[in-house]
Amino acid sequence: MFEFDGWIRIWAGDPDETTYVDANAALAAIRVRVQEAQAAIGCWFEVGDGYNGQFVLVAHGLRNHPQDEPLAVFRWVAERYPMSYGLLYVHNEWDLPRNNEFVVYRLAHGVITEFPDSLLSPFIPTVDDCLDPEQRRSRTAST
């Protein structure tokens, strides 16, 4: 399984210098890039309108195999809108050295930095306790 969840607060430019036309052009470019990402991997990307040249991009996906597109979208935003910031959480069971943990990618100042996760990792037992189905049913029934 490959899971990703993330968000980016996109700053189209300096709020004191960005015009309405600039912000709308950035929003249109972001929407095109997001549509390309959705078409490539069939996951959920959404861009929300904002104010003062700011927008929010939300990304979520569950796939059977690893995908490059979520991080590629973050890199694309980092290059074009360096005032933007956000987080991308990735759990990749195919990445054998890290298949039991989430990796966090931070976008800030046009740079993507990778961090180990301490909130949902280790995946087993923090998220998935590996109980057999009967144990899960009995625990769920008792809560």
Distance from C-alpha of 5 to C-alpha of 129, rounded to nearest angstrom: 21
Bridging pattern class, strands 102-108 and 111-116? antiparallel
* pLDDT tens column, 107-139: 999 999 999 999 999 998 888 877 556 655 665
- Which residues are CB-neighbours of 36 under 8 A, at least 6 positions away? none
Can you give the residue ranges of every domain in the chain?
2-142
pTM for the full model?
0.85
